[in-house]
Every structure is written in structure tokens, then in C-alpha cells.
Amino acid sequence: MARQDPIKVDDAVLLERVQRGDEAAFAALYERHQRAIYRYAMHMCGPEAADDVVQDTFLAVIRSGLGFDAARGTVAAYLFGIARHHILKRIAECGMRHAEFEDTEAMNPQPSPLAELQRAETIAQVREAVGTLPPAYREVVVLCELQEMDYADAASVLECPIGTVRSRLHRARALLAQKLTSRRKDVAGVER
């Protein structure tokens, strides 16, 4: 039987092969998911820890032959769940409250200097506001909004019902709107 190209194989098959020691399958699985896990970790606990979280996540995949259940979600959700475990450990150990964020939005090719400055200020305000959210709310914003994960996968990662993801996201958005509105009012009051 001819071996399939790892690039054309679905994640569940790759994970099964990884558990049997297939290095090419591991490389393919890593290539598919490491950037998204890095971004998630970076948003949750900062860029200094993100590389370590990615490494710990994939080491856990190599070491552990159990844990993935296709009935509970996708391989991506499984990997994010492992990453979440390592992120929560780091947050608890360090008492982290704020995370640094990368700019993931596409830049306008020819922005005016004023538009560029306003955009940078807006991004900084949103980053600051997201960073001040309690971890449970920040986590759903990172997963659902920044990682564009669907509610079912986010619920699998967070090990909670989909309704909890929806309610946390709703509450997080309300908190962000409140923080950003009060920030604008504070700036407007200073300018007068």
C-alpha cells in the first residue's frame, strides 16, 4: 500500500500517524497549526511565552497517545485545548493580567500620515482594552474574533457548552465597548 502525501491527509489521520512515530506526519501537523497556536498563546500570555506554549503543545502531542476524540471536536480544537492548558498554567504561575498583541489586520497600501496615526492609536486602544479583560473573556475574544474559530470548536477548547462561549463573547464585547467608550469620553474631556 502506497503512503499518502502528508499534505493531502486530514488532521485526524496525521495525528494517528504522529502517535505511531511518523516524523513527516508530525511536520505536516506542526506546519498546519503552529502559527494559529502561536497567535493564540501570544494574545493570551505574551510573545515571550508563545514559543514555549507552541513547543509544549506539540511535545504533548508526541508524548501522549491519548486524548483526541473525533466525536468531541476537530484536531485543531484538540491542539488548542492542549495549548490552553499550558497557557493557563503560565497565567497562574506568573499572575499575568495583560498580553501584548500583534497587528493582524492588513495595512492600507497608501494611508495618509493622519490616517496611519489614527489607526495606530485605535489599535493601541483596542489592544489595551482586550488586554484588561478578565482571562475568561479575553480568551473567547482571542479564539472567536482573532482566531476566527467557530463556537463549537471554541467550546471544545474551553471545555464548556457553546452557550457559555456565546455568553462570554457577548459579555466581552460589552466590556470592550464600555472600556473604549469611556476612553473616548476621557480623551474628549481632556481636549476641551
Mean pLDDT score, 46-55: 89
Average pLDDT of 24-42? 92
At 105, is the pLDDT very low, low, confident or very high (cuts 50, 70, 90)? very low
Choose from 50-59, 71-80, 141-150 the range with maximum mean pLDDT. Answer: 50-59
Positive or negative, the Cα torsion across 32, 145, 57, 50?
positive
Mean pLDDT on 160-164: 93
Cell of 50: 508563545
Tell me the C-alpha distance between 192 and 181, whole Å.
17
Which of the two residues, 147 and 155, has the higher pLDDT score?
Answer: 155
CA distances for 57 relative to 42, 85, 154, angstroms? 14, 9, 17
Q: Give the whole-angstrom CA distance, residue 181 versus residue 167.
A: 21
| Domains of the chain, first to last | 1-100 (1.10.1740.10), 109-192 (1.10.10.10)
Confidence band, pLDDT 50/70/90 cuts, at residue 130: confident
Q: What percent of the chain has pLDDT over 70?
A: 79
Band of pLDDT at residue 167, cut at 50, 70 and 90: very high
**pLDDT grade for 155, boundaries at 50, 70 and 90:** very high
Report the alpha-carbon distance of residue 130 to residue 182 in Å, rounded.
14
Average pLDDT along the chain? 79
Q: How far apart are CA 29 and CA 14, in angstroms?
A: 6
Residue 73 scores a pLDDT above 50: yes
Ramachandran region, residue 163 (left: φ > 0; alpha: ψ -120 to 50; beta: rest): alpha
The pLDDT confidence band at residue 185, using thresholds 50, 70 and 90, is: low
Residue 29: what pLDDT? 92
Query: What's the pLDDT score for residue 38?
Result: 94
Of the pLDDT bands very low, low, confident and very high (cuts 50, 70, 90), residue 189 is low
Of the chain, the end-to-end C-alpha distance in Å amounts to 76
User: What are the pLDDT digits (tens) for 85-99?
Assistant: 999 888 887 764 433
What CA–CA distance (Å, rounded) separates 52 from 38?
9
What pLDDT score does 106 carry? 39
**What share of the chain has pLDDT > 90, as a percent?**
26
